[in-house]
Amino acid sequence: MKAYIFPGQGAQFVGMGRDLYEQSAKARDMFQQANELLGFEITKIMFDGKDEDLKQTNVTQPAVFLHAVLVALTADEFSPDMVAGHSLGEFSALVAAKALSFEDGLQLVAKRAGAMQKACEMNPSTMAAIIGLEDEKVEEICASIEEEVVVAANFNCPGQLVISGSNKGIDLACEALKSGGAKRAMPLQVGGAFHSPLMEPAREELAKAIEQASFSKPVCPVYQNVDAKPHTGPAEIKQNLINQLTSPVRWTQSVQQMIADGATDFIECGPGRVLQGLVKKINRNMNISSL
């Protein structure tokens, strides 16, 4: 069975999507539609911009979404038995699986990026990658830091977990985790504490937009970040998408569940190959490739 997977923020690079634009009339039309919907020339930034411009949250998120969706929708063959996306990638997965229109998906991603940016400015915060420690131990140590917000945010693969929280909370957690046996505890260059309670203002803002958007039953199950389970009901998909901003991304568990449900081939749609690497670390027997 084929599982198509969609990357999140961090997979972007200057030049992404240019080949699609040059090779596909459908892609050109959709890129132009994106420029109009967003109100700025995202294609110029994607194809010829500077790294620092592409790293702005309000550009990064729609850019990665656009690239991933267009890779799937312009492919010679796209026949998913199941789909999943990492954080932002869940929106790409929903559009590719026809649960959400391209226009609505792009507008929700733009709203999400703006809401997250505002939340970051309200609460100075950050994230850190923790390498070489069991998930349960990381969660236990984070929970022991009671005076600051610090939580497990991304379960990426065994031995690689990202934590999220206040600046002081992350500093305290990194020290405690290194003392607790982590091989590395590395602060990340991100705008704020994604997938933590500090994103609550963004969750509230995005919830209104998601509630108003039209969702359909997807063509295949969508494995969602918040519970790592397959979903096809529009109401539950919406609610999980709303909760995603303040909940951890359970990527390890999602991949394990897809494998348990019969996935043998994982195909990454979008810039980079980050997710292929994570899948290989979760289960080295899987066939992995990219569109």
Active-site positions read 87, 195
Pairing mode of beta strands 125-131, 184-187: antiparallel
Q: Is 47 exposed, middle or buried (0-12, 13-18, 19+ CB in 10 A)?
A: middle
The CA radius of gyration of the chain, in Å to the nearest whole number, is 18
Of 52, 10, 45, the residue nearest 31 (C-alpha): 45
Which residues share a beta bridge with 288?
A: 266
Length in residues, the chain: 291
Contact 186, 128 (CB under 8 A): yes
Of 175, 196, 195, 194, the residue nearest 184 (C-alpha): 175
Provide the strand spans (E) within the chain: 2-6, 82-85, 125-131, 150-157, 160-166, 184-187, 222-223, 230-231, 265-268, 287-290
Q: Give the number of other CB atoms < 10 A from CB of residue 262.
A: 11
Q: What is the DSSP string of 78-126?
A: ---SEEEESTTHHHHHHHHTTSS-HHHHHHHHHHHHHHHHHHHHHS-EE
Of 169, 174, 168, the residue nearest 187 (C-alpha): 174
Contact 271, 259 (CB under 8 A): no
